[in-house]
A and B are shown apart, each in its own frame.
Chain A
Amino acid sequence: MTILVFSGLLFATSILAGFLGALTGLGGGVVIVPVLALLFKVDIRYAIGASLVSVIATSSGAAVAYVREGLSNIRIGMFLEVATTLGALLGAYLTAKISSHWIAIVFGAVLLYSAFASFRKKSDRVPAEAQAENPLAKKLELTGVYPGPNGGEPYTAQRVPLGFGIMFAAGTLSGLLGIGSGAVKVLAMDQAMKLPFKVSTTTSNFMIGVTAAASAGIYLARGYIHPTIAMPVMLGVLAGSLLGTRILVKTDVATLRSVFALVIVLLGIEMMYSGITGKI
């Protein structure tokens, strides 16, 4: 295959991955790694390297749109980034220590979880638990005001150590698999810390870029980020996700979300199978 054809195919596939990733809120990374590894037969280390840089690009490129909504909480994000960046260092360190079979198996499990999580109910309200006092959260200034239908509703983070712990795990997965692990980050903030759902998703978007940057330095030094693969993937995923975000505000994507979740489940099973049988 010539360079031109290879780059063109990668670019086109990445546009589709970024587009679907943005429409479903799962991110382009969870799709592009299995596609590169299973379809393009690229070594999984090149695949996670290319995915990681595209994760940085989409997170940073989408920030403007998220900030306009005024929902992200910069302090909660920064506090939890201590956990995710340290986790990302550990994850990037682990990629060199464990075999690619195991990376594929863990990746498959994360895909299955992400597909499952995309069906959770999303509430537009501040959960009742988030109105309780929490001395630790108060001390760390992990509070905010949510612009609800009846004016500003104050919220306070709950179960801070648990949220911090899950964030460390999210960072480790991000560094190990080259993904944004947005689903796990939202789990920490929405389920564990009881933050309003939209605060969780928008703050998570901000955190993804910083978390990914923590492992990107290590990936670069190890040679996981290869220009011929990373460039078309990054440009394609970025273009696709910007397009997807634009369409998302206009149309209801419930059907597409279900179809895509099914694709994710199949990719997850195939990744686990390939890992177990030693094909990856």
Chain B
Amino acid sequence: MSRPTDHDLDLSVAAMLRVGVTLATLVMLGGGILSLLHPWTTTPDYKHFEPGGPALRTLSGIARSAMHGDAQSIIQLGLVLLIATPVARVVFCVAGFARQRSLLYFGISSLVLAVLLYSLTKGGGS
């Protein structure tokens, strides 16, 4: 197979981004429709910050709660998919630079990926 150019890489990345955003939007809309089944609930007070439980904050908590059909967690799952989209973009670039045999940019994009994965997995520890 011939080595892809930077522009080929750009095109496949852009197509992937669009799929990610669309998928995230659909999941979010699904959760949104579910949550509007009770449209007359009064909005809680958002004036003061309240961290909320693991069902909205951790990947495992969101996944578990979304499986049980909790509307808020399904929206949150869509948001997680959205956050994962640029991460997938960097994974694409790591693979693309590897196929181009560009060692320098394989290394640089791997470093960016490492920072992103660190934030997603270890970021909560504060």
Closest residue on chain B to residue A224 by CB atoms: B49
Instruction: Give the residue of A2, A40, A227 whose beta carbon is less than 8 angstroms from that of B76.
Output: A227
In the complex, chain A residues 208-234 whose Cβ is within 8 Å of any chain B Cβ: 209-210, 212-218, 220-232, 234
A67 within 8 A of B: yes
User: Which of chain B's residues have a CB closer than 8 A to the CB of A215?
Assistant: 119
Instruction: Give the residue of A43, A73, A78, A96 whose beta carbon is less than 8 angstroms from that of B108.
Output: A78
Is A75 a contact of B123 with CB atoms below 8 Å?
no
User: Which of chain B's residues have a CB closer than 8 A to the CB of A232?
Assistant: 32
Closest residue on chain B to residue A215 by CB atoms: B119
Given contacts A221-B124, A231-B28, A231-B32, A209 and B17 within 8 Å (CB-CB): yes
B21 within 8 A of A: yes
Given contacts A209-B85, A238-B21, A214 and B7 within 8 Å (CB-CB): no
Stretch at the interface among A18-26, A81-89, A124-132, A248-256: A81-89
Chain B residues touching A, majority SS: helix
Q: How many residues of A contact B (CB 8 A)?
A: 65
Please list the residues of chain B having a beta carbon within 8 angstroms of any beta carbon in chain A. 6-7, 9-11, 13-15, 17-18, 20-21, 24-25, 28-29, 31-32, 35-36, 38-44, 46-52, 56-58, 72-73, 75-76, 78-80, 82-87, 89-90, 93, 102, 104-105, 108-109, 111-112, 115-116, 118-121, 123-124, 126
Please list the residues of chain A having a beta carbon within 8 angstroms of any beta carbon in chain B. 1-4, 6-7, 40-43, 45-46, 53, 56-57, 59-61, 63-64, 66-67, 70, 72-75, 78-79, 81-82, 85-86, 88-89, 92-93, 96, 140-141, 209-210, 212-218, 220-232, 234-235, 238
For the complex of A and B, list the 5 residue pairs with the smallest distance between their C-beta atoms, beginning with the closest.
A221-B124, A223-B51, A4-B39, A217-B120, A218-B123
